[in-house]
């Protein structure tokens, strides 16, 4: 049976934390949802990050929000 966590982990994505490996590592470590900091991202950059998170969700079988 899967353990249910009461604590949720929110991670903010910025310039130094938006590459595929870093996001994947955070997901494996237990992040529940990603927040995109629009002070450091325009619409296109945010769109790319969301698409990457969705790809990783499928690849890893996770359901991490963004």
pLDDT of residue 32: 96
Q: Compute how many other C-beta atoms are within 10 angstroms of the C-beta atom of residue 34.
A: 22
What residue segments make up the domains of the chain, in order of their start? Answer: 10-58
26 near 20, Cβ under 8 Å? no
pLDDT of residue 65: 94
Question: Which pTM value belongs to this model?
Answer: 0.86
Blockwise average pLDDT, block size 10, the chain, 66 residues: 81 93 97 91 93 97 94
- Name the 3-class secondary structure at 13: strand
pLDDT of residue 1: 61
């Amino acid at each position: 049976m899967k353990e249910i966590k009461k604590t949720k982990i929110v991670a903010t994505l910025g310039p130094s934390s938006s590459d595929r490996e870093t996001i994947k590592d955070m997901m494996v470590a237990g992040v529940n949802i990603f927040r995109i900091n629009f002070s450091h991202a325009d619409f296109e950059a945010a769109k790319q990050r969301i698409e990457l998170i969705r790809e990783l969700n499928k690849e890893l079988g996770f359901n991490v929000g963004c």
